[in-house]
Copies of this chain bind each other. A is one copy, B any other.
Amino acid sequence: MKLVPLGDRVVIKQLEAEEMTKSGIVLPGQAKEKPQEAEVVAVGPGGMVDGKEVAMQVKPGDKIIYSKYAGTEVKLEGEMYIIVKQGDILAIVE
């Protein structure tokens, strides 16, 4: 059983957040938008999305940074995934 995202959507799996400063103090981050590290699990076909041509730029296995509140949490066979639009992915971590 697997999730096949539509349009410009991307299925990701969250990595454990590292929000510690060097000294070990927890850093609260921005209240309104909490960036998150995740791994790409599945990528939609892109193409015409909301009247705009979208080319997909991430692939399964990529480690990415995304804006947390943009995504939707989905549970499948005991595993938790997040479905985001590619535009909510800020950067790839290489």
Contact = CB atoms under 8 A, between A and B. Distances in A.
Interface residues of A, number: 45
Contacts of A57: 6-7
A27 B65 contact: no
B91 A3 contact: yes
B86 A6 contact: yes
Interface of A: 1-7, 9, 11, 18-19, 21-22, 27, 29-30, 33, 35, 42, 48, 50-55, 57-58, 65, 67, 72-76, 78, 83, 86-87, 89-94
Contact of A18 (B9, B48, B75, B94): B75
Given A51-B53, A65-B83, A11 B72 contact: no
